[in-house]
Amino acid sequence: MEKKERVRRILEYALEREHQGLAFFKENAGRLSHPAAQGVFEQLAQEKATHARYVARLLIQYEDDGAISQLPDAIGQSDLFSSPALTELMDQPIGNSVVSDLSVLRMAFLMASDLALFYSRAATRTEGGAAEALDELARCEKAHEKLFRKLHDTLSEGYLGMSWGGR
């Protein structure tokens, strides 16, 4: 496959995955039982929208110029580890309703892990601005992966430590 076609296809796929992530976080924010977890998912939906705009700008630049010589404005990753929603989530008592939240958090972890791997691999198959942009996106997804592992593991440990009948 020609280099230009490969980069264009990578960016198109990335854009589709960011749109899928946006839909996932918007849809599941309302399904989570913890209001704080909902807040984290709402923040991530906003971040996914920012990522989608970033990738769309990369794709337009690449299609117009045949290269990415200047990266669009930074994608601006929020610091979810220090967000009030995350702190609140970690401090909440665990109830029986957390079981469904664990499944959603696990899916979010797997999505972030898969996308981080895609971006990392895609960066090695490109060069210049495209590789730099894909590396930046991979770093964001790795941070999401870490966040979801922490959330899942914390809630899972709390659930496993519950006395039967809930708290």
The tens digit of pLDDT for each residue in 10-25 reads 999 999 999 999 999 9
Contacts with 125 (C-beta within 8 Å, 6 or more apart), sequence order: 6, 10
List Cα–Cα distances, 101 to 3, 15, 18, 90, 104, in angstroms. 42, 27, 22, 13, 5
Is residue 24 domain-resident? yes
In a domain, 139, yes or no: yes
- Model confidence at 160: pLDDT above 90: no
- Is 74 buried (19+), middle (13-18) or exposed (0-12) by CB count in 10 A? exposed
55 in a structural domain: yes
Task: Name the domain count of the chain.
Answer: 1
Q: How far from 31 is each of 93, 122, 140, CA to CA, in Å? A: 18, 33, 24
CA distances from 64 to 4, 58, 83 (A): 12, 10, 38
Report if residue 131 sits inside a domain. yes
pLDDT beyond 80 at 135: yes
- Residue 85 CA to residue 46 CA, distance in Å, equals 14
pLDDT at position 94 is 58
Q: Specify the CATH number for the domain of residue 39.
A: 1.20.1260.10
Gap between the Cα atoms of 87 and 153, Å rounded: 15
| pLDDT score at 85 | 56
7 within some domain: yes
Entry pTM: 0.85
Burial of 73 (C-beta count, 10 Å sphere; 0-12/13-18/19+): exposed
What value does the mean pLDDT take over residues 113-129? 96
- Which pair of structure tokens corresponds to residue 105? 């958090």
Q: What is the pLDDT of residues 22-74, one digit of tens each?
A: 999 999 998 888 777 788 899 999 999 999 999 999 999 999 988 888 887 76
Find tokens 């198959």 and name the residue. 125
Residue 63 maps to a domain = yes
- In this structure, is residue 86 part of a structural domain? no
Whether the CB-CB separation of 73 and 46 falls below 8 Å is answered with no
Which pLDDT does position 95 carry in this prediction? 61
Which domain, by its residues, includes 18?
Answer: 3-69+96-160
Is 91 a member of any domain? no
